[in-house]
Homo-oligomer: A and B are copies of this chain.
Amino acid sequence: MPKSFSFRVLATDGAARRGEISTPRGTIRTPAFMPVGTAATVKAMFPEHVRAAGADIVLGNTYHLMLRPGAERIAALGGLHRFMQWPHPILTDSGGFQVMSLSALRKVTEQSVTFRSHIDGAMFDLSPERAIEIQRLLDSDIVMQLDECIRLPAADADVERAMRLSLRWAERCKRAFEGAPNGRALFGIVQGGTLPKLRRESAQALVEMDFQGYAIGGLAVGEPQDVMLQMVETSVAELPAGKPRYLMGVGEPEDILLTVERGIDMFDCVLPTRAGRHAHAYTRFGKLNLKNARHADDPHPLDEASDCPAARDYSRAYLHHLVKANEILGAMLLSWANVAYYQSLMAGMREAISAGRFADFAAETRAGWAEGE
């Protein structure tokens, strides 16, 4: 295992890149999809199945973990990896997004954000320094800066103010991160809403500060897809080729195809597991609703060519039965099958980029989805 954090591009096809992030806890093949382990668990999955499905890295949520069970407690128990039995790389977000979307009574000042826990109403204070401290206590491999995520739509002036504050917080996070063990990385987050000018300014300022990777935040929050793509293109244009690019919170397989094509290397999203808990399967043949009565007598599995036992060994009729009966095994099998499908999609993209046939792969993939409809 390497002692340091590094990224190299192994192949490109247009703007799409295949690469490899090396960390002391393992290699992350990019484009990478990170299953979300919000509360120290990728919901309804055993960690060994997440791994076997092909995931090199999972995401943990600083916001959830700081509230429950608490970062100090996890540190005392040996860190997040041991706590959740995932010895491979973990990226933690900074909590900024969930403070905006989940907490009550939040108040943002230059110094920090204070908010009320959505679990028990307790008051918390999250500064850039504390966000880094929490992620260090968790012993995260890839640490995210604290940013201010504002709800869209918002006035341009508010978007600009939040972006500038996020830049100042980026600097404070960078200082707070100094002295982290070798091999841990800190990523900056490009903000700026849907305003190209602000996105460029944010990206340029962050690149000036020199992070080990760059995320694009504040997208996939309801804006039209073409706006999201334009913001990705605008941001990516400012980012260095030699550093990984992470599009936060994305997304649907189609969005992943479209943004890998535009040079994104990393993704996270709750969709595969959330959909799995709500009777939906992502497959080569598109998205299926297993609650639908047309599956009730179908002896075929989700995908008989899949390597994933959940997708290969159980009939659609059985999955339909499980979800109709609200059986936990339904959520378990569909979450597993979905995470495995996402990982196989990423593996397919990586291969296609190396072979210089990303466009063909994307077309074939979309044709498969259409076939199932």
Q: A residues engaging B (CB < 8 A)?
A: 39-41, 43-46, 68-69, 73, 76-78, 83-85, 277, 296-297, 299, 313-315, 317-318, 320-322, 324-325, 327-329, 331-332
| Complex: chain B residue closest to A78, CB-CB | B299
Q: Can you offer 23 A-B residue contacts whose CB atoms are under 8 A?
A: A39-B325, A39-B327, A41-B329, A43-B327, A43-B328, A44-B329, A44-B332, A69-B296, A69-B321, A69-B324, A73-B296, A77-B297, A77-B299, A77-B315, A77-B318, A83-B318, A84-B318, A85-B313, A85-B314, A85-B318, A277-B328, A328-B328, A328-B332
CB distance from A322 to the nearest CB of B (A): 6
Whether the pair B321, A39 counts as a contact (CB closer than 8 A) is yes
Whether the pair A40, B332 counts as a contact (CB closer than 8 A) is no
Whether the pair A321, B40 counts as a contact (CB closer than 8 A) is yes
| Complex: chain B residue closest to A45, CB-CB | B329
Q: How far is the CA of A77 from the CA of B295 in the complex (A)?
A: 12
Whether the pair A321, B68 counts as a contact (CB closer than 8 A) is yes
Give the copy number. 2
Known: A77-B317, A85-B314, A328-B331; 13 extra A-B contacts, CB below 8 A, are A39-B327, A40-B318, A41-B329, A44-B332, A68-B324, A69-B296, A73-B297, A77-B297, A77-B315, A83-B318, A85-B313, A328-B328, A332-B332
- Give every chain B residue within 8 A of A296 (Cβ-Cβ): 69, 73
| Complex: chain B residue closest to A310, CB-CB | B46
CB distance from A70 to the nearest CB of B (A): 9
CB distance from A44 to the nearest CB of B (A): 4
CB distance from A79 to the nearest CB of B (A): 12
- Give every chain B residue within 8 A of A73 (Cβ-Cβ): 296-297, 317
Q: How far is the CA of A313 from the CA of B47 in the complex (A)?
A: 11
Whether the pair B69, A317 counts as a contact (CB closer than 8 A) is yes
- Give every chain B residue within 8 A of A45 (Cβ-Cβ): 329
A315 with B83: in contact, given A73-B297, A299-B77 (CB under 8 Å)? yes
- Give every chain B residue within 8 A of A84 (Cβ-Cβ): 318
Whether the pair B46, A332 counts as a contact (CB closer than 8 A) is yes
- Give every chain B residue within 8 A of A321 (Cβ-Cβ): 39-40, 68-69, 83
Q: How far is the CA of A76 from the CA of B297 in the complex (A)?
A: 8
CB distance from A212 to the nearest CB of B (A): 30
CB distance from A135 to the nearest CB of B (A): 18
- Give every chain B residue within 8 A of A76 (Cβ-Cβ): 297
